[in-house]
C-alpha cells in the first residue's frame, strides 16, 4: 500500500458525505440545547481546552452520569462538538458531560489522556455537588474512543460501561499517514498508546459501535479489538449501524 492509499484508508472523510454539513448540524444542535437549558460549565485544569459542560436532568438526583470525549484525530474540535448528545441522555433521566482537552501539536496524547482523567473527575465532582452521581458510563468517538479507553484504565473512579464509537484502537498504522504529522509518533510510541496492544483484562463491559460507511480500516480495527476483548474475557457487544458514516453515526447510536 503506497502512502496515498494508506492516507485514504485512514481518512474517514474519504468514505463519508457532507462532512462539513454534518458537523455544522451537530454544532447547531448543541448550541440550541445550551440555549434552552444552560449546562453547569467548568474547567478541569488551567487550560481553557479542558472546559466541560455538565447537563443535569430535571428532578432530584442521584443520576447516572454519561461522560463523552470528542474525536478529531487528536487535533481538531472541542468539547462543544458533542453537546448535542446530551439531549438523548437527558431524555433517559441521565446526566451528561462533554469534556475537552488540548490538541496536537501543542500537547502529547499522554497529556490529553491525563486531562480527560481530570475532566471526568471534575464532572463527577460537580454532579455530586448538584444532586449526586449514581454511576458513571464513559464514551468516546474516533480518537476520543482511544482516549476513553485510557481514561477507564487510569481513573480511580469506577466506570460501569464503555461506549466506543468508530474508534482508533491501533495507532501504529497511522505513523506513516497524514494523521501523524502533528502527533510525531514513532511505531514504538504508537503501539504503547494503542488499546489493542494493552492488557485488556479487567476492563468494564464495552459496547463497540461501527458505522456501515466507516473506512474499512476502522472496521478491521473494531473487529481486532473485539477479538482481543473476547480473549481477555471482557464482555463486549458489537453494533454496526447501517446507512451512516464516521460522522453522522453520532446521531444514530
| pLDDT tens track for 199-242 | 999 999 999 999 999 999 999 999 999 999 999 999 999 999 99
- First CA to last CA across the chain, in angstroms? 32
4 pLDDT above the threshold of 70: no
pLDDT in tens, 39-48: 999 999 999 9
Cell numbers linked to 152? 477507564
pLDDT bucket at 5, cuts 50 / 70 / 90: confident
Give, for 239, the enclosing helix (H) or strand (E).
strand 236-241
Q: Which of 142, 69, 128, 126 is nearest to 99 (CA)?
A: 69
Report DSSP letters for 67-136, one per residue: EEE--STTTS--GGGGGGGHHHHHHTT-EEEEE----TTTS-HHHHHHHHHHHHHHHHHHHHTTT-EEEE
Q: Are the CB atoms for 92 and 137 separated by under 8 Å?
A: no
175 pLDDT above the threshold of 60: yes
CA pair distance 80, 68, nearest whole angstrom: 11
* DSSP3 helix / strand / coil % (the chain, rounded to 5): 45, 20, 35
pLDDT in tens, 43-66: 999 999 999 999 999 999 999 999
Residue 172 belongs to domain with CATH number:
3.40.50.1820
pTM, two decimal places = 0.97
Mean pLDDT of the chain: 96
- Residue of higher predicted confidence among 6 and 77: 77
* Nearest 10 degrees: Cα torsion 185, 189, 190, 196: -170
Residue-range definition of the domain harbouring residue 30: 3-251
pLDDT in tens, 86-132: 999 999 999 999 999 999 999 999 999 999 999 999 999 999 999 99
Number of domains within the chain: 1
The length of the chain is: 253
CA pair distance 50, 252, nearest whole angstrom: 27
Amino acid at each position: 500500500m503506497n502512502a496515498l492509499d494508506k492516507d485514504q484508508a485512514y481518512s474517514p472523510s474519504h468514505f463519508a458525505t457532507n462532512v462539513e454539513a454534518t458537523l455544522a448540524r451537530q454544532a447547531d444542535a448543541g448550541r440550541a440545547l445550551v440555549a434552552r437549558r444552560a449546562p453547569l460549565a467548568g474547567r478541569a485544569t488551567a487550560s481553557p481546552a479542558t472546559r466541560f459542560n455538565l447537563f443535569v436532568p430535571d428532578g432530584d438526583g442521584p443520576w447516572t452520569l454519561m461522560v463523552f470525549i470528542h474525536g478529531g484525530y487528536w487535533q481538531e474540535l472541542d468539547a462543544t462538538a458533542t453537546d448535542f448528545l446530551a439531549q438523548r441522555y437527558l431524555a433517559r433521566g441521565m446526566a451528561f458531560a462533554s469534556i475537552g482537552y488540548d490538541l496536537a501539536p501543542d500537547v502529547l496524547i499522554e497529556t490529553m489522556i491525563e486531562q480527560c482523567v481530570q475532566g471526568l473527575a471534575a464532572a463527577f465532582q460537580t454532579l455530586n455537588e448538584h444532586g449526586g452521581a449514581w454511576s458513571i458510563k464513559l464514551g468516546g468517538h474516533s480518537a476520543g474512543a482511544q482516549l476513553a479507553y485510557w481514561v477507564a484504565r487510569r481513573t480511580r473512579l469506577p466506570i460501569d460501561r464503555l461506549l466506543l464509537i468508530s474508534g482508533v484502537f491501533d495507532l501504529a498504522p497511522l505513523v506513516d499517514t497524514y494523521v501523524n504529522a502533528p502527533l510525531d509518533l514513532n511505531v514504538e510510541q504508537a503501539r504503547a498508546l494503542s488499546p489493542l496492544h494493552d492488557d485488556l483484562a479487567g476492563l468494564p463491559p464495552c459496547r463497540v459501535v461501527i458505522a456501515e460507511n466507516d473506512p474499512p480500516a476502522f472496521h478491521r480495527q473494531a473487529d481486532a479489538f473485539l477479538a482481543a476483548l473476547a480473549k481477555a474475557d471482557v464482555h463486549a457487544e458489537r453494533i454496526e449501524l447501517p446507512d451512516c458514516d464516521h460522522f453522522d453515526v453520532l446521531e444514530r447510536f
